Structure 1
Amino acid sequence: MTGRILRVELWRSNARWMALLLLPAVIGVGEAGRGLTVLALDQRQALFGAFPLAMGVAAWHARRDRRSGVEELLATMPRPRWQRVLPGAVALVIGAFAAFLLTCLVNVALVANAGGYLSTASLPIVAVGAVALLAPVAFGLAVGRWLPFMLVPPVLILYMAMNLFFGDTEAYTEGPDASGEPPGWLLLWGTLQSVGTEFDFAAITARTHLGQALWLVALAAAGIILYATTRPGGRAAAVAVVAVGAAVAVPVLPDRYAEAYALDPGATAPVCTPRPPRVCVTRAHRAALPDLSGPGREALAILAAKLPDPPTSVTEISYADPPAPRADTVHIALWVGGDGRLRGPVLGIVPDIRWELLLGAGTPSCADPPPGTPERRRYDLARLVAAAWLLDQDPPPADPGDPALASRTESLAAYQALRRLPPDQQRTRVAQLRRAELACDSGDRLDLLTGPR
């Protein structure tokens, strides 16, 4: 009997409208080439925009007894209210889940077509996103039951949408506590960000998933209690469920918002060219390997032709977990687009990826001076001049609006000073700068490169 009632509810209730209205609202807005985890995080962001619609449809569904004029008649039936209303609530949840899971399957197809990383770390993100849909449906039913008026659903949709789109959402990730970092309890409300290439390698910690799921289940249970119960203590029970949910979920969540993220080992696993010289990218950016292999091999050939003990491979690194410098490897961070292909150099001070590969004579930066200081300007200028010497090109013009960067006049003067030295001394000084960078030695790099001896 229950199964037949549920089938009737799926066909005759607002479950279909729930699915049709939520379908465009829960589509992820991410970039498929960056991987399924990023797309799942972006879908979680879009999911918040679907909450007002879910609440409005549920509130309209809760009005149907009043709308049909049978509310008083049904109240006289001996059958408990929760048994009578539960199939309709389940039908609405199934409709919301169907829309969400269909868009998840679309995301999988988009990522596979773009050659992106189909990470299993995205599965719990999707699962918690599905659980998140329970809360607006449950509270929409509760509002519709206790305020069964025609204008309530549209007003509820408008009110919730205004709160979401014009509220202080920056507080989710920018509201610091006394330590200067966002506290972990903001994860109860804040969406998980996916901005920046470093999130291509991210996974969400188990504590974050568990804490958010517990909190969302508590909210959904409170809404269902308010909708289904007829007992006088129902409202108090709903408040108690929310309080218990918060008391359990907050200690489970990480202490700091940033601790919600962890590195996905599968995303950072290397994918390399089959023939030497070896050029490798992370598995998350494997679609960018053809774009990096040509410039990477060119940079290795330049280093081999001009410097002693040159590196023999190029490997992509993650900003979140950079390895120690290695003499045999050129490390580089990549900036990929929505199609997963190489978009260009991460640093805006160089014209193409070859320059970024050859900065500091093919070494990663290990600068101690903070950005914007005169010492840091000289440090960055020395690394740029070393790349210009290797490429036999004048240094590119810097952004005139960025005072932290050396001007065109400064970079040309330093480059010409290096070029005025005898050829053997030029080679020796660039090699010394490379060794200093690999060892992260102290000292002024520009003096090392162009100063008197």
Structure 2
Amino acid sequence: MTALDTPTREAASGPPRTSVLRTELRRGTGPWSGAAVAVTTLVTLYAKAPGWQSRWTDATDMLHIVVGLLLGPLVLAVGCWQGGRDRRNGTRELLGSVPRGPLRRAFLAVAPTALWPVAGYLSAAAVCLLATWPYVDGGRRPFLELVAADAVTLAALGTLGHLVGRLVPWRLTAPLLAVTGYVVFGVAAARTEAAGSWLNPAVEHFYAWDRPVGWFAPAWVVWCAGLALAALLAQAAGTARLRLLALVPLTAAVAAAVPIARLPLDGPWRPDPAAARLVCDGGAPPVCLPAVDRALLPDISAALAPLNERLRGLPGAPTRWVGGPSVGAGETALPSPDLDAVRGELSHPDLYLNSAVQFLFAETCRSEDFSGPEVERLGAIHLAVSEWLAPTPAGYGVPVGPAGQRYLDALRAKSPAAQRDYLARYMAADGCRPEEVPVP
């Protein structure tokens, strides 16, 4: 053996597999797609930080919606563009000339569009979760399994987009695929009552005191990854035997989709007893919130204090203010603090107080003919009393109107004793019988 033989054999053996994957990841739109996914996620969540930065559930839900409505169509389009460019530039034929198996060539080709969006999303999600950490209850944990499932969703969509681009290399296929994905995901997300709605990556969840069932995230991973892998094997396989191999992930995807499609309206979320457990202050009447919102209890108690003072001793006054899912008979429901809570603090106590008054006087009337002049008069009185007890902050709510303003002026002109007497009569009246409600 001569000294010249060694480099010749090394060249013949080809570069290491890691260097081949590294080369593939560096080419094309892959790195740019990862950066676009990270920037889109961070910008979107930064703009809506007050709505998610106080609870793990809200942070996870917001990340999920960003994946379904924004990142999903974006990754589809980027993958489609990359796949179409490979077809237009003849990259497929070039890869077919090297001594690699068809499956290896296929996996290397889709690696940039599958892996870079995942890297960008996980980086942005880590930033968002770290930004949430200081403001949440320490007894709970972030739902990392759902974040990982959303990352698999992006990898699957990138792979499917790449395969569509290979089949249809037309340059306008990518933007059309993005628009189609946005419309399909968005329309399906609005139909939460439809069968199989939770198979859609953009469907939304609302309640902060829930937790996901343990099997959902693994089933979702199998559902998304199985579809993408089946499509990749079916397109890349060069023989009928390899095409039959695609039936394995396809069968697994269908099997995982069945329990997801049969989920109820609340989807995989179930009440978390620890998060929904009521925490009360020592006031009279008590103010109680779910444990997940206990950081807001001092602010909400202070916001309700003036109203409780005016209602004390009157018939129909709240015996206990309760927020969350467990409002019992005889208790008064509190409005959700979602729109007013920012990083564990109540940002608009006056607006929250106004909403609490609306909840206090809310009536559920079953009459089919609940209309006419008496009902209009009742609505004007209701607005006047609510505005008198808790004035609406500027820029919020609806105007009381001319009739409501007359009633409001009459209330303000009364003496304190007459005001209290009228409020007692108003609260004792049946709100579903407009003729019984007294005029100020």
Query: What TM-score, normalized by structure 1, do the two folds share?
Result: 0.68
Q: Which residue of 1 aligns with 2:334?
A: 331
Are 1:160 and 2:177 an aligned pair? yes
- 1:288-325 residue CA offsets vs partner (Å, 9 max, x unmatched): 55643432222222223x6379657654x24xx35125
Percent identity, aligned pairs only, is 17
Q: Which residue of 2 aligns with 1:403?
A: none
Letter in 2 for 1:161: A
1:32 positional shift: 2.9
1:221 positional shift: 1.6
Q: Which residue of 1 aligns with 2:364?
A: 367
Letter in 1 for 2:364: A
Q: Which residue of 2 aligns with 1:354?
A: 353
**Contiguous gaps of at least 5 residues in structure 1:** 176-180, 346-350, 401-405
Are 1:38 and 2:45 an aligned pair? no
Are 1:110 and 2:131 an aligned pair? yes
Are 1:409 and 2:440 an aligned pair? no
Are 1:225 and 2:246 an aligned pair? no
Q: Is the 1:52–1:158 contact (alpha carbons within 8 Å) kept by the matching residues of 2?
A: no
**1:360-399 alignment runs, 5 A limit:** 363=360, 365-369=362-366, 373-374=370-371, 384=383, 387=386, 399=398
CA distance in 2, matches of 1:128, 1:54: 20
Q: Is the 1:37–1:122 contact (alpha carbons within 8 Å) kept by the matching residues of 2?
A: yes
CA distance in 2, matches of 1:67, 1:90: 15
Q: Which residue of 2 aligns with 1:5?
A: 17
CA distance in 1, matches of 2:214, 2:305: 40
- 1:232-253 residue CA offsets vs partner (Å, 9 max, x unmatched): 3655765785477346514542
Q: Aligned in 2, Cα 1:86/1:283: closer, same or farther, shift over 3 Å? A: same
CA distance in 1, matches of 2:288, 2:238: 64
1:19 positional shift: 2.6
1:101 positional shift: 0.9
Letter in 2 for 1:307: L
Q: Which residue of 1 aligns with 2:196?
A: 185
CA distance in 1, matches of 2:106, 2:121: 23
* Secondary structure of the corresponding residue to residue 336 of structure 1: coil
CA distance in 2, matches of 1:370, 1:335: 32
Q: Which residue of 1 aligns with 2:83?
A: 59
CA distance in 1, matches of 2:201, 2:286: 42
- 1:88-143 residue CA offsets vs partner (Å, 9 max, x unmatched): 65565443322121011011123235x25686463333122112123223224434
Letter in 2 for 1:336: L
| Equivalent residues, number | 410
Q: Aligned in 2, Cα 1:184/1:200: closer, same or farther, shift over 3 Å? A: same
- 1:204-248 residue CA offsets vs partner (Å, 9 max, x unmatched): 556765664443122112222035421136557657854773465
Aligned mate of 2:436, from 421, 444, 447: 447
Letter in 2 for 1:331: L
Q: Is the 1:172–1:190 contact (alpha carbons within 8 Å) kept by the matching residues of 2?
A: no
* Secondary structure of the corresponding residue to residue 44 of structure 2: coil
Are 1:300 and 2:299 an aligned pair? no
Q: Is the 1:47–1:129 contact (alpha carbons within 8 Å) kept by the matching residues of 2?
A: no
Are 1:23 and 2:35 an aligned pair? no
**1:198-213 alignment runs, 5 A limit:** 198-201=206-209, 203=211, 209=217, 212-213=220-221
1:10 positional shift: 2.6
Q: Is the 1:37–1:200 contact (alpha carbons within 8 Å) kept by the matching residues of 2?
A: no
Q: Which residue of 1 aligns with 2:224?
A: 216
- 1:338-384 residue CA offsets vs partner (Å, 9 max, x unmatched): 83454558xxxxx8443443458xx3634224799337656655655
Are 1:172 and 2:171 an aligned pair? no
1:421 positional shift: 11
Q: Which residue of 1 aligns with 2:117?
A: 96
* Secondary structure of the corresponding residue to residue 172 of structure 1: helix
CA distance in 2, matches of 1:277, 1:419: 29
- 1:236-294 residue CA offsets vs partner (Å, 9 max, x unmatched): 76578547734651454236555455445555445666888865544555565564343
Q: Aligned in 2, Cα 1:392/1:104: closer, same or farther, shift over 3 Å? A: closer
- 1:11-45 residue CA offsets vs partner (Å, 9 max, x unmatched): 55345444334332444724333332332233323
Q: Aligned in 2, Cα 1:324/1:3: closer, same or farther, shift over 3 Å? A: farther
Stretch of structure 1 that moved more, 333-342 or 215-224: 333-342
Letter in 1 for 2:60: T
CA distance in 2, matches of 1:110, 1:41: 17
CA distance in 1, matches of 2:96, 2:416: 100
* Secondary structure of the corresponding residue to residue 334 of structure 2: strand
* Secondary structure of the corresponding residue to residue 133 of structure 2: helix
- 1:393-413 residue CA offsets vs partner (Å, 9 max, x unmatched): 9xxx9846xxxxx85415744
Stretch of structure 1 that moved more, 89-98 or 212-221: 89-98
* Secondary structure of the corresponding residue to residue 29 of structure 1: helix
Are 1:73 and 2:80 an aligned pair? no
Letter in 1 for 2:261: L
Query: What TM-score, normalized by structure 2, do the two folds share?
Result: 0.70
* Secondary structure of the corresponding residue to residue 183 of structure 1: coil
Q: Is the 1:173–1:182 contact (alpha carbons within 8 Å) kept by the matching residues of 2?
A: no
- 1:387-446 residue CA offsets vs partner (Å, 9 max, x unmatched): 5676799xxx9846xxxxx8541574498499889958x75664466467xxxx786266
